Each structure stands twice: as C-alpha cells, then as structure tokens.
Amino acid sequence: MNKNKSFLSRNKGILIFFAVMLVLPFIIGLFEGSNPVAVWNNQGTFSKHLEGIGIEIFILAIFALSYDLLFGVTGLMSFGHTMFFAVAAYTTGIALKTFGLPLWQVLLIIVGTSLVQAFLFSVVLPRVRGVTFTMVTLGMASMFHIVVMSSDMIKLTGADVGLQGVPKPAYIDPTIERLRFYAIALLILVLVYIFYKRFIDSPTGRVCVSIRENESRAKMLGYNTTAFKIVVMLIASFTASIAGVLHTLYQPIVSPTIADLGYTVTGLLIVLIGGIATQSGAIVGAFVIKLLDLALRGIMKDSAPLVTGVVYVIFVLFVPYGIVGSLKLGGLKIKQGWQMLLERFGLKKAMPKGE
C-alpha cells in the first residue's frame, strides 16, 4: 500500500526517532553543563549514564523486535527465543576472551551459530504445532540454560557467576567510546526496524501474517507454510543474535539470567506493552519497561518485579493491543469523530454510504 511513497516518507517516523535520539545526549549534556564537545569526547557523566540506559533499551528493542516477528507476526509462540540471544552473547564472550579472535571473525561465527540454531528449531517446526512447539522450544532453551549454569564448563562460561572480563576492542569499548557505541546500537536498531517493516510489507511477510491467522487456509492456498516459518525463524534468530553480541560488548558481566525463561518473558512483556505485531511497539515497549524498571527499583527496591507483574496483567486484561495498537485504534476513532463533526457543520460532504 505504501508502494508509491518514497523511502524517506515511508520511514518518516523512525528517521525522526533516529535523529532525535542521536542529538539527545548533546542536549542532555547542555542541561548538565558540559558543552557538546565534552559530550563528543565522552566526558559528561550524566549524559554518559543516559547513553548507557539508551544502549540497554536499544538492545532490548532489537531483541523484542525479533521476538515480535516470531510470535506477533507469524504466530509462533516460542518460549525459547532467548536461546538465540544467549548463545550469541556467550559465543561472543568466549571467542573474545578465551580464543582472542578479532571482532569481524566473531561476527562471522555468530552468523554461523544463528543459522545452526534456526535450523535446529526448523527441524522441530514441521513436527510440532501450537502448545507443543512452545514446550519444545522451552525445553531446548532450558537445556542451554542448564549447560551454561553447570559447573562442567565453568572455565568457559563462568557458571552461575557469569562471564566476566571479556576484552572489548578499543574502538568500540563502551567505557571509553560510549557515544560511538550508542550511535552504532541506535543505527543497528533503526536498520533492523526498517528491514522488518519492509519484510512484513513484502509478499513473504503477508504470507507469514496469513499463517498466524489461519495456517490451514494458507496451506490450502498452496503456500509451503513450513518454508515460510523457517525463513522467519532465520531472520529472528539472526536479529536476536545481533542483540546478543551487543549485549556482551556492552555489559561488564554476561549473566546466565539472559538464558533464562525470564528473559523471553521480558521480550514478551515488551511486545505486549508496546503492541503486538506493530514494529514501533517493540521500541516503545522497551523504553517503557526499562524506564519503569529503573524508576521502580529506585522507589521500592526488591518488590519492583511485583509492580511490573501487575502492570503486565493489567495490560493483558484491559489493553490487549498495547500502547501503539491502542493509539492506532484510538486514532481511527478520533479521525472518524472529526469527520462526523465536519459533516454535521456542513464543512465537508457526507461520505456516500456503502463505502
């Protein structure tokens, strides 16, 4: 439907977002009292802290985007999605720390591991459906979590303490070159977003949506639904892996909680709060979750997850379309109301009925 528009006008929203987020550290720096040059040289303390939060949000958003493609767009309820993320995070960490590989080689390895995992899941795909798929994926991810946590591989993974002291390449080290890292993470998020938008608008994406709505009908129309699912799995796996690499590069410790079911649930939460199957929802949700978490931790310390849980349940019960989805629906209503108002005052011709 957007075919006639140019690239710029199609992606207006995300490009504005990109520009704003890019300028934001400098503006925050001004409020703090450090001039843009200081921020450029990574000297402002508060703006640096904020960049850190921003990076975490971007990583979460990339992860949530990939989860949304699987669960929101294609309707594959996977509870093992965090495995893609965690495998990439650990592989990066181990390759950098134990084997001392340069980053570009690590990235090649990550492409390989994400492919292998997607194929692992794809072996399962044609056989199991619905809840069984959920449980098989849960089982696979839990096995990885257990392997990470086990003391057999403590030298590689650090078991329950986590992977510490990963040497980071100097040109992207978040402690020295944080602004650069921030910009790269933001750029990756924007690129992933644009790619996802394009993918879902493409004929392949349309078939994926139809699989979610009614798989047997899609099959009957002659689509090999398994193949489409595998494609989606590949894309989601690769995207989540990128998020995992960024996570390892940014965090001082790769904790095993990222391989837990809880991390998948975080992704689910983000998607749900932002709005299922709306790509911008993943970004909005990531912002809301991270900031809410920070605020709650400041106020109530340990019982923050309780409030997050309550918010989650309220969203499931009362705001099923999430923030972005509800806004879209509400926006439609406002538009209709405006139309009606105009018609009533005779400023606009009434729409012919039947349209």
Q: How many residues bind other proteins (CB under 8 A)?
A: 36
- Regarding 136 and contact with other proteins (CB under 8 A), the answer is yes
Q: How many CB atoms lie within 10 A of CB 299?
A: 10
Contact 54, 182 (CB under 8 A): yes
- Regarding 149 and contact with other proteins (CB under 8 A), the answer is yes
Q: Name which of 81, 50, 68 is nearest 193 in CA terms.
A: 68
Shorter beta-carbon distance to other proteins: residue 67 or 238: 67
User: Where does residue 168 rank: exposed (0-12), middle (13-18), buried (19+ CB within 10 A)?
Assistant: buried
Q: How many CB atoms lie within 10 A of CB 344?
A: 10
Shorter beta-carbon distance to other proteins: residue 52 or 122: 122
- Look up residue 17 and give its two tokens: 């977002």
Q: Which stretch binds other proteins (CB under 8 A): 126-134, 196-204, 282-290, 344-352?
A: 126-134
Contact 113, 241 (CB under 8 A): yes
Shorter beta-carbon distance to other proteins: residue 44 or 281: 281
- Look up residue 305 and give its two tokens: 């997850």
Strands (E), 65-193: 163-164
- Regarding 301 and contact with other proteins (CB under 8 A), the answer is no
- Regarding 77 and contact with other proteins (CB under 8 A), the answer is yes
Q: Which residues, 303 to 342, sit near other proteins by CB under 8 A?
A: 303, 305-306, 309-310, 312-313, 316-317, 320
Shorter beta-carbon distance to other proteins: residue 242 or 324: 324
Q: How many CB atoms lie within 10 A of CB 200?
A: 19
- Regarding 257 and contact with other proteins (CB under 8 A), the answer is no
Q: Which stretch binds other proteins (CB under 8 A): 137-145, 174-182, 192-200, 221-229?
A: 137-145
Strands (E), the chain: 163-164, 253-254
Per CB under 8 A, residues contacting other proteins are 77, 123-124, 127-129, 131-132, 134-136, 138-140, 142-143, 146-147, 149-152, 265, 268, 272, 302-303, 305-306, 309-310, 312-313, 316-317, 320
